[in-house]
Amino acid sequence: MKLLEKVTLGKQTLKNAIAMAPMTRSRATADGIVQELTVLYYKQRASAGLIITEGINISEQAIGSPYTPGIYNQEQIEAWKKVTRSVHDDGDVIYAQLWHTGRVGHSIDKNGNLPVAPSAIGIQGQQHYTAQGMQDYETPQELSIEEIKKIVKDYGQAAKNAVAAGFDGVELHAAFGYLPNQFLSESANKRTDEYGGSVENRNRFVLEVMQELVNAAGSDKVGIKISPTIYYNNIENSDPEAQFKPLIEALNELPLAYLHLMNGMFPLDHLPHYPKDAMETFGKVSRHLVIANAGYTRETGEAELEKGIAKIISYGSPFVANPDLPKRFELNAALNQPDLATMYGGGEKGYTDYPFLEN
């Protein structure tokens, strides 16, 4: 099976082509420090060829939800060292996903500060999970050029901190409607300066951040996750191909480890102009290794690898409930089903207590 074959990522060899997709589990302390339980959680899943961590806040401003971890102070870095050491002891490779939530947050969880965004446009028709329950979104504060430049630097510092914490590389979370995705979107970005108004200008922020990450972490150690056809969090483009193909072409010019590409996860009936096959449309443009994500099973993952566009498949929810997912794929064993009630927050229940296959 291709899923179980070794694959080269950057300068490293992965023991299989199965990645654990980044998943927020909201089990850090209120100060964004990961705990012993998180060390165990990742260690349990170290048979994945590659682990990509949950989104990690690059700064206090980046925080969108309670109990999400950070990597902007020494205590947070020290805590992550325990995770990377224990995963490396098992011969695994682990990347840190760097996260700035932009407008996908709430002042309740930001010390009273409003979320920031490319433009002062709040998310409509959805609510946000906060420490005080579900809340309507607020109108975010539009970022100034100086503030944008500061965020680019924050990403660079977070990447340096990730290297100091022992991570093998970093991934920019530019998918699912978070800050970088907001810059890429015509519905969230109405700027008229060099960060908005044209395809090239909307791509500028992401490309500046990626260059900063490469400067900080080095060649072949930086990846990026994008979701060109996901409209969740009020992200829309009149022509996703016109926006994302030039982005991927520009990313081709940087010395990256991979492009992590999501399929559309939601029905596209009301957006008939959106491409239906993200791998075919966008994956083929990438000269970097492609990690395919969203909705794959053992069989469809294998079939995707057979097609040859993607070299790695990342699995999210299957890894929540199956710490030994590669073994289960190998044996074609039944999978545990994830419990939705314990996805976010809480302790070991639904986190580190899913059963392994019995030997």
Residue number, 266 or 356, with CB nearest to ligand FMN: 266
Position 270, amino acid? H
Site membership for ligand FMN, residue 298 (CB under 6 A) = no
Judged by CB under 6 A, the stretch of 138-146, 169-177, 196-204, 266-274 that binds ligand FMN is 169-177
Tokens 């805590």, located at residue: 79
Q: How many C-beta neighbours within 10 Å does residue 77 have?
A: 20
- Which region, judged by CB under 6 A, interacts with ligand FMN, from 22-30, 40-48, 197-205, 235-243? 22-30
Q: How far is the CB of 344 from ligand FMN (least distance, A)?
A: 6
Q: Does 59 bind ligand FMN (CB under 6 A)?
A: no
Position 225 contacts ligand FMN (CB under 6 A): yes
Query: Which region among 43-51, 132-140, 203-211, 312-320 touches ligand FMN (by CB under 6 A)?
Result: 312-320
Q: How far is CA 236 from the centre of its chain?
A: 19
Stretch that binds ligand FMN, among 17-25, 137-145, 193-201, 213-221 (CB under 6 A): 17-25
* Residue 78: partners with Cβ closer than 8 Å, 6 or more residues away: 165
Interaction of residue 279 with ligand FMN, rule CB under 6 A: no
Residue 215 CA to residue 234 CA, distance in Å, equals 32
Residue 88 and residue 163: Cα distance in Å, rounded?
14
Active-site residue (options: 72, 95, 155, 178): 178
Q: Binding ligand FMN by CB under 6 A: which of 65, 293, 322, 352?
A: 293
Assess 156 for contact with ligand FMN (CB under 6 A).
no
Q: Is 222 helix (H, G, I), strand (E, B) or coil?
A: strand
| Residue 161: φ, ψ to 5° | -65, -35
Is 178 a known active-site residue? yes
Rounded Cα distance, 278 and 268, in Å: 12
Cβ pair 95, 51 in contact under 8 A: yes
Name which position in 28, 170, 262, 290 contacts ligand FMN (CB under 6 A).
Answer: 262
Taking CB under 6 A as the criterion, the residue among 23, 46, 213, 261 binding ligand FMN is: 23
- Pairing state between β 222-226 and 169-173: parallel
Among 135, 157, 317, 336, binds ligand FMN (CB under 6 A): 317
Query: Considering the rule CB under 6 A, would residue 295 count as an interface residue with ligand FMN?
Result: yes
54 binds ligand FMN (CB under 6 A): yes
Task: Give the separation between CA 53 and CA 56, rounded to whole angstroms.
Answer: 8
Residue closer to ligand FMN by CB (options 77, 96) is 96
Cα separation of 62 and 105, whole Å? 9
Q: Indicate the angle between helix axes 199-217 and 145-164, nearest 10 degrees.
A: 30
State yes or no: residue 175 binds ligand FMN (CB under 6 A).
Answer: yes
Contact with ligand FMN (CB under 6 A): which of 38, 97, 229, 352? 97
CA distance to 88, 200, 212, 259, per residue, from 247 (Å): 33, 8, 16, 11
Residue closer to ligand FMN, measured from CB, 196 or 316: 316
86 φ, ψ to 5°? -70, -35
Residue written as token pair 């794929």: 329
Name which position in 3, 21, 151, 172 contacts ligand FMN (CB under 6 A). 21
| Closer of 14 and 98 to ligand FMN (Cβ) | 98
Residues 6+ apart with CB under 8 A from 169: 10, 95, 96, 217, 220, 221, 222, 223, 257
173 binds ligand FMN (CB under 6 A): yes
Residue from 15, 18, 24, 100 touching ligand FMN (CB under 6 A): that is 24
- Which parts of this chain interact with ligand FMN (CB under 6 A)? 21-24, 54-55, 97, 173, 175-176, 225, 262, 293-296, 315-318, 343
Catalytic residue set: 178
